[in-house]
Structure 1
Amino acid sequence: AVSLDVKGVRVIFRDGTASLVEEKGYVLEKHKFEQWISAEAQKAGAEVKLGHRVTDLQRVGPLTGAGKLWRVACGEKSFSAKVVVDATGPQALSSSKLGLNKRFDLVIGIQYEMMDIPQEGWLDFYLWPKLAPEGYLWMIPKCAGRANVGLVTTEKNKAKAYLDEFVKQMGWEKKVVKKTFGGPIPASGPVEKTFADGLLLVGDAAGFTSPLFEGGTHLGIVSGKLAAETAAKAIHGGDWNAKALSEYERKWKAEFPPYPKIVEGKEAMYAFTDPELNQMAHLLPKDLLGMTAWQKLGIALKLLVGNHNLVRKGVLRVFHAFKYSSAKYYGW
């Protein structure tokens, strides 16, 4: 399932200035990775029901001494469950069907898989506001010269036009596009309620994406693991009501980064113009993860001396968000 080893992330600003988040990682062939996860789950005893689309959820019972069961409807068929784990992605079925949470903010992601794209072993993230309003663009290298070239933005109706213009500006308009794919991505942080009686929300359904760069695979995996552990313990103890399942929220809050602070930093960054982002870029060291105490002091002095406009617009919140945008903090 691993397509390519990479050196980390290269953040590229409009004037060509670049900063690095240097940490080794992998680019996955996502369809193969998901097939592998499915196979491993089945080896461990899971039953996979293909061709079943959940159309309704209802609590039924009571079940003496524990709690109610769920009736999960899939068209004409239905299944019973003590605990339901909602992994329905941005659709967030339990929130919409049960009125559990308000709808989270969404951005639209679109990307092309392209051939023969120049690559240097980095995930290239482009902070170019005019071509990705309230978002960013990317080139994610894959094996055999392939790459995913895409963007996220709040401007759904213009996303493809922005991407086509980016491809043109990069000089890639004559490269072969093998496929186009994408969809909505939660972008406002975790929902208010990630657990209820007999119910746990994970991954995108819970709003678990990286606030700055919208990645979600690792957050989905870890939240799924925490939910499974919590559900198994609750069922084994004979009580799967909300109080027993609240342990899940305590676990993910202890594990995941401080979402509100990162969202604040993202909102501040996306309010910057191209020139302001370039100005910010010139303050940053080449290696974002390897900043020394002296480099941090130097940045602080530069902000105090000649960059008051950035301070007023929240650049310190942006720097704080960048701090949590490494793989260590589920940040890619």
Structure 2
Amino acid sequence: MWRKQSMNSFDVIIIGGGPTGLSTAITIAKKSDLKVLVLEEHSEIGNPLACGEGISTKKLLTLENMPRVSQEIDGSILKFQKEGSFIEREIISQRFFFDTAGVATSNLNTVTINRPLFDKLLAKEAEEHAATIQLKSQVLGITKKDQKLEVKTQEKTFSAPLVIGCDGPSAHSVQMMNLSPPTEYVQGIEYKIEGVHTDALDFYFNFREFPKMHYGWVFPKKSHTNVGIVTDTASKPKKMLVKFVDYLNNSNMKKSEILKEIAGIIPASGPIPKKYCDNYMVAGDAAGMTNSIFYGGIAIGIHTGMLAGETAIKAHESQRFDDEFLSKYQIRLDSCPYSDPVIQKAHELLYNKFSPEDIETFGSFLDGWDITMISKFQKIILLLKALKKPSTLRRINEIRTVAHGFSKSRDWGF
């Protein structure tokens, strides 16, 4: 039974109806009888889309709050039931292209998904557990009144003792609460191209050909292919994407019709320093919690939303919504693998410090290798190769940092 409250009064208000906000709502609504409101500024869950639509199979199957999937074991092979599913294609390998220097591979089970359907399934589960989702509800302001926060939208003002910001890269709620938002962003832009042009997840680190591009990707879907790039926000992303597609057409991809273009910004400065204050927590992209090597955010958003939801339940049980109590949320976040500072250090080296020549050299070292798990013998081979290039040998610790950051982040999505 709900406690008596006015129609506009809730126990928890969640700002944002993407995977992070919906995961937060599912956790709270499923594990408590708290009255939960999700405010989503757009008119439809799952749109507009700004996502490469890839996620690791491991996280899909092990993280709480992921949409339920039907699967069966065929020998040692996990097979998903695709009929009516958000899963579009199962992928068992990645390829990493380094200009003309080489191609490395990695075996990491992954799926590409129908992201709008994925989000809608999350919303359905949240509503099944009695969470309220209100669309077309852009938040215009947040103010403190009588130990609660009042959240103003275009049409109504809602109140709750606890608000959780899950409003994506814009991080408007973070700024409204006078916390520091992400300070660095990159631009992701993608074409959906007719036909399937690869059976792997392909990543292109072509820094010599595209100096301002962080990386390019080619992700196969059910009947089309997502082709995109991540680049600095100051560059001309669409012009660079056109050039990248031309490059692919001249190498290994058949020229095909462009079905749709999508774009969005991605936080790249790492987790914000403080993710809570009195009556407020922030999760997912709004907190800078993305994979800053591959710029993925779905799995991290789902997990940070779960942690925020669990903290919200404990806050209500203790009737404590103060800064000190909510600091427990950040302590839990900081212990998660995706919060490891080595990932951000690897990001800085890979995208801001290493030159195109450095990347080309590393690519030549790894050409033909499966880098899923590099053996001790392979590490010796790498060291011997580095000995032949003194400039590379001097940077061996930096190379190790990038490798460590890669291994820490690779499970957390693209």
Same fold judged by TM-score > 0.5? yes
Does residue 290 in structure 1 map to residue 378 in structure 2?
A: no
Q: Distance in 1 between matches of 2:382 and 2:181?
A: 39
Aligned to 2:241: 163
Q: Distance in 2 between matches of 1:16 and 1:176?
A: 30
| Amino acid paired to 1:274 | P
How much has 1:309 moved relative to structure 2? 1.6
Aligned to 2:315: 234
How much has 1:238 moved relative to structure 2? 1.1
Q: 1:272 aligns with which of 354, 363, 367?
A: 354
Q: 1:302 aligns with which of 385, 398, 401?
A: 385
Aligned to 1:92: 171
How much has 1:290 moved relative to structure 2? 2.1
Aligned to 1:137: 216
How much has 1:307 moved relative to structure 2? 2.7
Q: Distance in 2 between matches of 1:100 and 1:258?
A: 19
Tell me the SS of whatever aligns to 2:93: strand
Q: Distance in 2 between matches of 1:256 and 1:320?
A: 12
How much has 1:258 moved relative to structure 2? 4.5
Alignment deviations for residues 282-315 of structure 1 (CA, whole Å, 9 cap, x no partner): 2237221221122123223332x12332344532
How much has 1:163 moved relative to structure 2? 0.7
| Contact persistence 1:11–1:126 (CA under 8 A) | yes
Q: Distance in 1 between matches of 2:339 and 2:160?
A: 33
| Contact persistence 1:194–1:202 (CA under 8 A) | yes
Q: Distance in 2 between matches of 1:234 and 1:95?
A: 20
How much has 1:132 moved relative to structure 2? 5.7
Aligned to 2:277: 196
Q: 1:79 aligns with which of 158, 166, 174?
A: 158
| Contact persistence 1:264–1:317 (CA under 8 A) | yes
Aligned to 1:2: 87
| Amino acid paired to 1:46 | A
Matches within 5 A, 1:26-105: 26-61=111-146, 68-105=147-184
How much has 1:111 moved relative to structure 2? 0.2
| Amino acid paired to 2:192 | E
Cα 1:210–1:132 change in 2 (3 A) is farther
How much has 1:243 moved relative to structure 2? 1.5
How much is the aligned-residue C-alpha RMSD, in angstroms? 1.8
| Amino acid paired to 1:108 | Q
Q: Distance in 2 between matches of 1:247 and 1:160?
A: 42
Moved over 4 A (4+): none
Q: Distance in 1 between matches of 2:185 and 2:243?
A: 23
How much has 1:131 moved relative to structure 2? 2.2
| Contact persistence 1:135–1:151 (CA under 8 A) | yes
Q: Distance in 1 between matches of 2:131 and 2:211?
A: 41
Tell me the SS of whatever aligns to 1:326: helix
| Contact persistence 1:212–1:331 (CA under 8 A) | no
Q: 1:152 aligns with which of 218, 224, 230?
A: 230
Cα 1:217–1:131 change in 2 (3 A) is same
Aligned to 1:64: none
Q: Distance in 1 between matches of 2:270 and 2:301?
A: 13
Alignment deviations for residues 52-106 of structure 1 (CA, whole Å, 9 cap, x no partner): 1100001111xxxxxx111000024110111111011011122222321144200
Q: Distance in 1 between matches of 2:302 and 2:248?
A: 34
Alignment deviations for residues 188-242 of structure 1 (CA, whole Å, 9 cap, x no partner): 1100111111111111000011011100000000000000000011111111112
Alignment deviations for residues 243-272 of structure 1 (CA, whole Å, 9 cap, x no partner): 211111111111233543222222222233
Instruction: Return 5+ residue gaps in structure 1 as ranges.
Output: 62-67
Cα 1:103–1:266 change in 2 (3 A) is closer
| Amino acid paired to 1:128 | N
User: TM-score if structure 1 supplies the norm length?
Assistant: 0.91
What is the number of residues matched between the two proteins?
321
Cα 1:104–1:115 change in 2 (3 A) is same
Identity of aligned residues (%): 29
Q: Distance in 1 between matches of 2:131 and 2:182?
A: 30
Cα 1:226–1:94 change in 2 (3 A) is same
Aligned to 1:317: 401
| Contact persistence 1:71–1:79 (CA under 8 A) | yes
| Contact persistence 2:213–2:229 (CA under 8 A) | no
